[in-house]
Amino acid sequence: MTGEEIKKVVEILLQYLVPTLKVFGFTLLYSIPLGMIVALLKMSKIKPISWITNLYILVMRGTPLMLQVIVAYYAIPMLKQSEGLPSFMQNLLASVDIKSDSFMFNAVIVAFTLNYAAYFAEIFRGGIESIPKGQYEAAAALSMTKTQTFFHIILPQVIKRVVPASSNEIITLVKDTSLANVVAYAEITMKAKQQMQLHSSLVPLFIAGAFYFAMAMILTVISSIVEKKLNYYK
């Protein structure tokens, strides 16, 4: 490939960095709060809630994300075709426009969010359970409510403990965004593959790889800064 061609490929891939970052950003935005809720549900004293949550986590962690993306993308069109569904379901399905541009994106985000929430939930649960009982007792002896105790005493300590494991997940997520191309979501990996075929050259793939590598490096630096910031206490 000539220098001119390489420059062109870099420009194209840079454009498709946006859809990649969109999957990354929205997945984080939704899966971290959802993961916190799932963690609390799993620790619920009401057994059936805890069991159902656990089943959800097992399925999400026990099956490939790629498969989940495919299911999320094809489930609604398939259900639309099937007969004998109750009318409210048919109405609900009819309200989803599967031909719209946002449908594919939404399906990808749903699959990624549900998958990553399960992983985050397990990290957060470990963090919450590692806080000594004495912290809850001290807060209770000071007449703090359960909500105050959770948000002001427990959660800040949990955040410190889950930062290393969470940054691992977040770096994995950057690379996992490439799985979205399985439903033809146009992002960097897909474009790099097209450019590879167009130019009969591996260079576009290396350029895409460099992009992922740079993003992972940036995240690594950010996470070590955050870890250092939280190091003001032991």
Partner 1 sequence: MAMLEVRNISKSFGSNKVLKDISFNVEKGEVLAIIGPSGSGKSTLLRCINQLERADGGTIKVCGLDMLVKNERGKTVYAPPDKLREIRLKIGLVFQNFNLFPHMNVLRNVTEAPIRVLKQKKSSAEGYAMKLLSQMGLYDKSEAYPCELSGGQQQRVSIARALALDPEMLFFDEPTSALDPELTGEILKVIRKLADDGMTMVIVTHEMAFARDVADHVIFMENGVIADEGTPEQLFGANASERTKQFLQRY
Residue number, 63 or 145, with CB nearest to partner 1: 145
Binding residue for partner 1 (CB under 8 A) from 142, 210, 217, 221?
142
- C-alpha distances in Å from residue 61, one per residue of 55, 113, 157: 10, 12, 26
| Min CB(228)–partner 1 separation in Å | 15
Q: Which of 187, 180, 181, 189 is nearest to 208 (CA)?
A: 189
| Min CB(37)–partner 1 separation in Å | 23
- C-alpha distances in Å from residue 47, one per residue of 42, 61, 127: 9, 21, 21
User: Is residue 152 at the binding interface for partner 1, with CB under 8 A as the rule?
Assistant: yes
- With contact defined as beta carbons under 8 Å apart, do 230 and 164 qualify? no
| Ramachandran category for residue 44: left, alpha or beta (phi over 0 → left; psi -120 to 50 → alpha) | beta
Site track for partner 1 across 118-137, x = CB under 8 A? --------------x-xx-x
| Cα–Cα dist 110/126, whole Å | 25
| Min CB(139)–partner 1 separation in Å | 8
Binding residue for partner 1 (CB under 8 A) from 50, 157, 167, 194?
157
| Min CB(204)–partner 1 separation in Å | 47
Residue number, 92 or 138, with CB nearest to partner 1: 138
| Min CB(132)–partner 1 separation in Å | 8
Binding residue for partner 1 (CB under 8 A) from 15, 130, 148, 172?
148
Q: Which of 59, 60, 54 is nearest to 41 (CA)?
A: 54
Residues 59-118 within binding reach of partner 1 (CB under 8 A):
none
Among 29-37, 58-66, 91-99, 151-159, which window interacts with partner 1 (CB under 8 A)?
151-159
| Min CB(146)–partner 1 separation in Å | 11
State the DSSP code for 154.
Answer: I
End-to-end Cα distance, the chain: 54
- With contact defined as beta carbons under 8 Å apart, do 195 and 9 qualify? yes
| Ramachandran category for residue 77: left, alpha or beta (phi over 0 → left; psi -120 to 50 → alpha) | alpha
**Interacting residues toward partner 1 by CB under 8 A:** 132, 134-135, 137-138, 140-144, 148, 152-153, 156-157, 160, 232-234
